[in-house]
Amino acid sequence: MVERATPHLIRVRVTPAYTVTVGAGVLDAVGVTVRERRLALVSDATVAELYEAQVAHALRASGHEVSTHRVPAGEDSKSPDRWLALQRAFAQGGLDRSGAVVALGGGVVGDLAGFTAATYLRGVPWYLLATSLLAMVDASVGGKTAIDIPEGKNLVGAFWQPGAVVSDVRTLRTLPLRAFHQGGAELFKHGLLGDPALLAGFENGLAPDWPEQALAEIIARSVAVKAEIVTADEREAGARVHLNLGHTLAHALEAVTDHGLPHGEAVAYGLHYATILGRLRGLQDLTGRTAALLAWAQPAPLPDVPFEALVPYVARDKKARDGRPRFVLLEDIGRPVVVDDVTWAEQERAWKLLKEEVER
- Which residues belong to the active site? 122, 144, 186, 226, 236, 240, 244, 247, 251, 263
- What is the C-alpha to C-alpha distance for residues 317 and 284, in angstroms, rounded to an integer? 26
Instruction: Choose the binding region for its own copies from 79-87, 215-223, 225-233, 277-285 (rule: CB under 8 A).
Output: 79-87
Tell me whether residue 121 or residue 295 sits nearer to its own copies (CB atom).
121
Report the residue from 150, 282, 288, 301 that binds its own copies according to the rule CB under 8 A.
150
Spatial CB neighbours of 345, under 8 Å, sequence gap ≥ 6: none
Q: How many CB atoms are closer than 10 A to CB 237?
A: 8
Contact pattern from residue 198 through residue 237 relative to its own copies, giving x for each residue in contact according to CB under 8 A and a dash for the rest:
-------------------------------------xx-
Least Å distance, CB 115 to its own copies, is 8
CB 307 within 8 A of CB 342: no
Tell me whether residue 117 or residue 187 sits nearer to its own copies (CB atom).
117
Exposure class string for 243-282: b at 16+ Cβ within 10 A, else e:
bbbbbbbbbbbbbbbebebbbbbbbbbbbbbbbbbbbeee
CB 133 within 8 A of CB 104: no
Interaction between residue 259 and its own copies (CB under 8 A): no
Interaction between residue 156 and its own copies (CB under 8 A): yes
Interaction between residue 114 and its own copies (CB under 8 A): no
Interaction between residue 119 and its own copies (CB under 8 A): yes
Instruction: Choose the binding region for its own copies from 6-14, 118-126, 210-218, 268-276 (rule: CB under 8 A).
Output: 118-126
- What is the C-alpha to C-alpha distance for residues 120 and 94, in angstroms, rounded to an integer? 12
- Name the region of 356 (left: φ>0; alpha: ψ -120 to 50; beta: rest): alpha
In degrees and rounded to multiples of 5, residue 127 shows phi and psi of -130, 145
Residues at the contact surface with its own copies, assessed by CB under 8 A: 37-38, 80, 84, 87-88, 91-92, 94, 96-98, 115, 118-123, 144-146, 149-152, 154-159, 235-236, 316, 318, 320-323
